[in-house]
Amino acid sequence: SERYTVKVVNLNTGEYLTDNISNTYGSLLFTKENNGLIYTLLDEKELRAKSVNLHSFGDEQPEDRVLKAEDDTEYFLGFHATSSGEYLVIKSGNSEATESVVFDLDDLTKAPEYLSRREQRFLLEVDHGNGFFYLLSNDTHTNFRLAKVSDLDPKYENWQDFIAGSDDNYLKDFQVFKDFVAVSNSIKGIQSLSILPNHKPAYDISLPEKVASVGLSLNPEFNQQHVRIAYESMITPESVYDFDMTSKALTLRKVKEIPSGYDKTQYYTERLMAPARDGVAVPVSIVYKKGFKKDASQPVYLYGYGAYAYGMEPSFSPNILSLLDRGFAFAIAHVRGGDEMGFQWYLDGKLTKRQNTFNDFVDVAQFLIEQHYVAKGNISISGRSAGGELMGAVVNQAPELWRSVKLGVPFVDVLNTMLDASLPLTPPEWSEWGNPIKSKASFEYIKSYSPYDNIEAKAYPPMLVTGGINDPRVTYWEPAKWTAKLRATKTDNNLLVMRINMGAGHFANTGRYAQLKDSAEEYAFTLLAHGIKE
């Protein structure tokens, strides 16, 4: 349910302290003196962060000091410590604006300083080191810039470009270290990492594959002389590399073991570009076992998401091997609404441009058919959450293309949810989908694609619809309403199964084995639809 209680244990004695911090979001930070905790307090009725508080060990929770409260239900609230360990950053934000305030971690009683206000209407990520704040912001360029300002006078007018914004280079993430800054980039959908030493020229880290999922991993020490990198691709299991700053060597530290065994040489991956109906080229990542015939004789399993600027990485999935070994190709459609091709890619799939996301997915499928990767009607598709909304929209739009559809915790009742401001996640989501309460145009546009509102009396492919009874993000009645209306309306006799997990939230069933069981059921459903029995 994403509502937590915090207890503190003395690791020397094994005994719990008397402190009991309830109704929290799960994020924690010890104070510098280790005599207290910084945490996020949730609203009693709504699942939203209402304040960031400071708890001193031995005190009762009502005595905790509020560092920053957020009264506007349209904003999320979170916090983190800077890499230098000198500042606490608390930010309120939604998909359009960030308000960031910093506290001195050496003295949390000192008045905080605002780095940005919500009225400025830009997004901001903050880190700190060597007397400077570093600021990743889309204030001057859609693809963000990295700015730098002295911590002695960090007002906005003093910000200076450290890396200027670029049409080609999308700045995604960064971390400040004592001797350098590491930056995560995306150049036309290809991910890379750059190192910017304090007193030497910048350079890129050479990586094993061109198309891969690459990012900064856990780098907890400000003064470390390496960068730990998280790396994987469609054919490379989750890996950990260390890049040494002195030798410039990239050392492989760990590769995730695949218990069933895995031979990378038996699989092949491609990056394709599919033309959308408006002329835009949509990236497609695809993987298959060697010997896959591009003669439209074998099935494809197509996945998509496309929302919140959350790009689908070309990553490795051990479970997908079960399908690849049975003759499937697995593809990811990097549709607009994610940020795979830059931040504008996200903007072109939200609010009044949401239909682009659905069109892109259908057009990717049509491209795979035209290129003879698969035949029409032999594509199984899958998406979760906002990706479940995508599944609902495209099964309404083009049901004849799909062999089966899996809608995981699907956000299919978009209009009714966005009309209900009492739901905890509705107000902050208005910046993503539009506010149909205040805008007739938003009402009409959401209604035009909202999957639940566009079910028709026609034939639909087999569907598996899942939900979690404790899900606070996509409440269980959305998959239930979708299933009930479909059963009452559709004209076919195809299988329509709904599975509501009574011990699950939004992300997964409880426990590793329960998650594996769920995956096995979902793949069994897909294989059944394709007539594969072994």
Query: Please, what is the end-to-end C-alpha distance for the chain in angstroms?
Result: 37
Q: State the alpha helices, DSSP H only, in 312-382.
A: 321-324, 343-347, 355-370
Longest dimension (CA), the chain: 69
User: What are 362-405's pLDDT values in tens digits?
Assistant: 999 999 999 999 999 999 999 999 999 999 999 999 999 999 99
Q: Residue 5 and residue 413: Cα distance in Å, rounded? A: 31
Q: Residue 123 and residue 283: Cα distance in Å, rounded? A: 26
**For residue 424, pLDDT beyond 90:** no
Nearest alpha carbon to residue 141 among 126, 118, 162, 127: 162
Q: How many CB atoms lie within 10 A of CB 130?
A: 14
User: What are 261-305's pLDDT values in tens digits?
Assistant: 999 999 999 999 999 999 999 999 999 999 999 999 999 999 999
Nearest alpha carbon to residue 397 among 444, 364, 425: 364
Q: What pLDDT score does 511 carry?
A: 78
Catalytically active residues, by annotation: 385, 471, 506
Burial call 289-327: b when 16+ CB within 10 Å, e when fewer: beebeeebebbbbbbbbbbbbbbbbbbbbeebbbbbebb
Tell me the two tokens of residue 40: 């996020």
Tell me which of 13-27, 187-201, 457-471, 502-516 is least confident.
Answer: 502-516
Give 393: exposed, middle or buried? Use CB within 10 Å, 0-12, 13-18, 19+. buried
Q: How many CB atoms lie within 10 A of CB 448?
A: 12
Q: Phi first, then psi: give them for residue 208, nearest 5 degrees.
A: -65, -35
Q: Residue 188 and residue 211: Cα distance in Å, rounded? A: 11
Tell me the C-alpha to C-alpha distance, in Å, between residue 472 and each of 415, 431, 476, 506. Answer: 17, 19, 9, 7
Q: What pLDDT score does 510 carry?
A: 76
Q: Residue 320 and residue 90: Cα distance in Å, rounded? A: 39
Tell me the C-alpha to C-alpha distance, in Å, between residue 314 and each of 238, 244, 303, 304, 321. Answer: 11, 25, 11, 12, 15
Tell me the two tokens of residue 522: 């979902």
Q: Phi first, then psi: give them for residue 344, nearest 5 degrees.
A: -65, -30
Q: Are 77 and 92 in contact (CB under 8 A)?
A: yes
- The number of helices, as runs of H, and strands, as runs of E, in the chain is 9, 29
Nearest alpha carbon to residue 475 among 517, 420, 512: 420
> What is the average per-residue pLDDT within 201-223?
96
DSSP state of 398: -
> What is the average per-residue pLDDT within 472-493?
95
Tell me the C-alpha to C-alpha distance, in Å, between residue 399 and each of 353, 380, 391, 393, 460. Answer: 22, 11, 10, 10, 6
> What is the average per-residue pLDDT within 8-32?
94
Residues recorded for the chain: 534
Q: What pLDDT score does 471 carry?
A: 79
Q: Which residue has the higher pLDDT, 3 or 347?
A: 347
Q: What pLDDT score does 287 carry?
A: 98
Q: Are 7 and 20 in contact (CB under 8 A)?
A: yes
Q: What is the residue extent of each domain of the chain?
A: 168-256, 259-376, 384-413+450-534
Q: Residue 472 and residue 468: Cα distance in Å, rounded? A: 9
Q: How many CB atoms lie within 10 A of CB 51?
A: 19
**For residue 160, pLDDT beyond 80:** yes
259-376 shares its CATH topology with 384-413+450-534: yes
Mean pLDDT of the chain, nearest integer = 96
| Superfamily of domain covering 259-376 | Alpha/Beta hydrolase fold, catalytic domain (3.40.50.1820)
Q: Residue 357 and residue 337: Cα distance in Å, rounded? A: 6
Domain covering 384-413+450-534 assigned CATH 3.40.50.1820 in the classification: yes
Nearest alpha carbon to residue 531 among 376, 369, 327, 372: 327
Q: Residue 411 and residue 388: Cα distance in Å, rounded? A: 6
Tell me the two tokens of residue 90: 């608390």
